[in-house]
Amino acid sequence: MKVGFIGLGIMGFPMASNLLKAGYDLTVYNRTIEKAEKLGKMGAKVAHSPKEVAEVSEIVISMVTDAPDVEEVLFGENGVVKSNKRGLIFVDMSTNSPEFAKKVTKRLSEYGMEFLDAPVTGGDKGAREGTLTIMVGGKEDVFKRVEPIFKAMGKNIIHVGDVGSGQALKLCNQVVVALNMVSVVEGLLLARSLGIDDDKLFSVLSTGAANSFTVQYYLPKIMKGDLNPGFKAAHLKKDLKYAMEIANSKSLPLLGTSLALQLYNAMVSLGIGELGTQGLVKVYEKLVK
């Protein structure tokens, strides 16, 4: 299958690289051409618009920031739909809302195109290693056609259900991710205030009941002062906003999620939203001072 990939950021670039390694005929597009050209040197074809990607692809994947970006990729001046490629499958692997996924499906059907929402979890590490968990919403027969491509990028591929269900499950995941980070930062803050050695804290948290991916991967980064993004704080804030909109519409008391959203709002307000999610420690450090 000829595959197109749009959006070559922290996650998108390694995901597209893994498709190349798996032998797929790949065409890529990115707003900043340098990232696309780097993949071009690895064997990908470089396009200059989403329309160009769609014209030479059977399946087009997007890994962009938010719903407005997906909308631009699809329906913009040089968007995917301008290719008039009936039968094309468009796969949105970014994170936005279940309702947006349903609206996109309806609009794409008018162009004879299929849609899957397939957000991922596993961070930059999972993207590099090809071990992402991928949550897919959409028609089962369409999912089956794309499944081999998913397997080139991820290890745990789950067809959740109808369109929008992939995004719904991803938002549940993000709630737990955010609260894990809050707990890790607060645990570290308490330990340091009590004079407990960072390494001893990690030894206990990483081997006992408190263990998690956040403890294993992000706690050592925080301890070393490495706040570079594997996943940007501003993006987690966006995801939590979607989750809280759903919670409010259903009168669900997601108290911890509300707190986490406010903490990540604070990060963005402080101008440090481009840091990794572990940069939350900076908010707490300001509060302590």
| pLDDT score at 56 | 98
Q: What is the pLDDT of residue 220?
A: 98
H or E stretch covering 3? strand 2-6
Instruction: With CA atoms as reference, report the closest residue to 92 among 77, 70, 122.
Output: 70
Query: Using one digit for the tens of pLDDT, what is the confidence trace for 196-225?
Result: 999 999 999 999 999 999 999 999 999 999
Please tell me the predicted confidence (pLDDT) of residue 289.
72
Distances (CA, A) of 150 to 18, 33, 134, 145, 208: 10, 25, 7, 10, 33
Q: Domain range spanning residue 33?
A: 2-161
CB-CB contact of 95 with 162 (8 Å): no
Say what the pLDDT of residue 163 is: 98
Under-50 pLDDT residues of the chain: none
pLDDT of residue 154: 98
Q: Are residues 106 and 126 in the same domain?
A: yes
Point out the domain boundary residue: 97, 128, 161: 161
Choose one of 161, 185, 207: the last residue of a domain.
Answer: 161
Looking at the structure, do residues 153 and 175 belong to the same domain, yes or no?
no
pTM for the whole thing?
0.94
pLDDT of residue 245: 97
The rounded distance, in Å, linking the Cα atoms of 186 and 232 is: 19
238-271 pLDDT, tens per residue? Answer: 999 999 999 999 999 999 999 999 999 999 999 9
Residues 141 and 20 in one domain: yes
Q: Which of 161, 194, 225 is the last residue of a domain?
A: 161
CATH number at residue 80: 3.40.50.720
Residues 147 and 191 in one domain: no
Please give the Cα distance from 109 to 89 (Å, whole number). 10
- Do 8 and 87 belong to one domain? yes
The CATH number of the domain holding residue 244 is: 1.10.1040.10
Q: What is the pLDDT of residue 279?
A: 98
Alpha-helix runs per DSSP H in the chain: 12-21, 33-41, 50-55, 67-75, 98-109, 123-129, 140-153, 165-193, 198-205, 213, 219-224, 233-249, 255-269, 280-288
Residue positions annotated with a catalytic role = 170
Number of domains in the chain: 2
Per-residue pLDDT, 235: 96
Q: Do 143 and 7 share a structural domain?
A: yes
- Domain check: are 119 and 196 in the same one? no
| Predicted pLDDT at 200 | 98
